[in-house]
Amino acid sequence: MFNGLIPVIVLTSLLRPTVAEGAPDTDGASLAFARYVANVQHAVSWSPETIEIDAFLPKLQKRGHLRAIRRLNSAGNADYQVLEIAGDRTVRQQVIERYLTAQMTAAELPAASIAMTPANYEFRYQGAVRAGDTVAYVFQIKPRKKRIGLISGELWLDAETGAAVRQSGRLVKSPSLFVKSIGTIRETVLSGGVAQKLLTHLSVDTRLVGLADLTVTESPLR
């Protein structure tokens, strides 16, 4: 039902960021982009980690929730230890379980084929934004090919480290006949330049149950 790349950054704040004042910092943006490209293959990965999924079907006014510990086994596949599962059965089966299945399927794709790199995407610098005390450089991203797992939208890079702090857009190709479109926002929470949490929001227009909203929170197991 869903493609698991994304998989996708949940928005921690719905406030529109303020555009940084002054002339475009193209030198700073170029340096941040170079740092990003040098490290993009080293995706954020924790094992074990906690994962929480909140799903909502607006048309049916039904919700579901899952909290689990995810570990990678010796084969590199994910095993889940469910700590809590609640809510409507339809949401659990048609949304949450399908999302987890899609995550496992996506993990089998070659990482290089869906990585947000110059090999797969065109990048166009748009300017800098200020979100709180930090500054990020915004790049418009456009896939070079229409392929499952790729999105068209924006990429925000931390001005100091070049780390991707926000990715947003829509998948350019539906991963399933049962899905019309998928919109995604993925936000990485940094502390000292190190990723501490991944927040992902998916808005999925399905043919079976209408619109499905998912919020996925991932963080190292503490």
* Chain segment 175-198, per-residue pLDDT in tens: 777 888 999 999 999 888 788 999
Say if residues 47 and 216 touch (Cβ distance below 8 Å): no
> Quick count: other Cβ atoms within 10 Å of Cβ 191?
8
Q: DSSP H helical segments within the chain, as ranges?
A: 26-39, 89-91, 97-106, 111-114
Say if residues 51 and 72 touch (Cβ distance below 8 Å): no
* Chain segment 45-88, per-residue pLDDT in tens: 778 999 999 999 999 999 999 999 999 887 778 889 999 999 99
Contacts of 131 (CB under 8 A, 6+ apart): 13, 17, 18
Q: Rounded to the nearest 5°, which phi and psi values hold at 106?
A: -65, -30
At residue 131 the predicted structure's pLDDT band, cuts being 50, 70 and 90, is low
What predicted TM-score, i.e. pTM, was given to this entire model? 0.84
Q: Rounded to the nearest 5°, which phi and psi values hold at 173?
A: -145, 130
Q: Provide mean pLDDT across the span 155-161.
A: 94
Written as six digits, the tokens of 90 are 């339809």
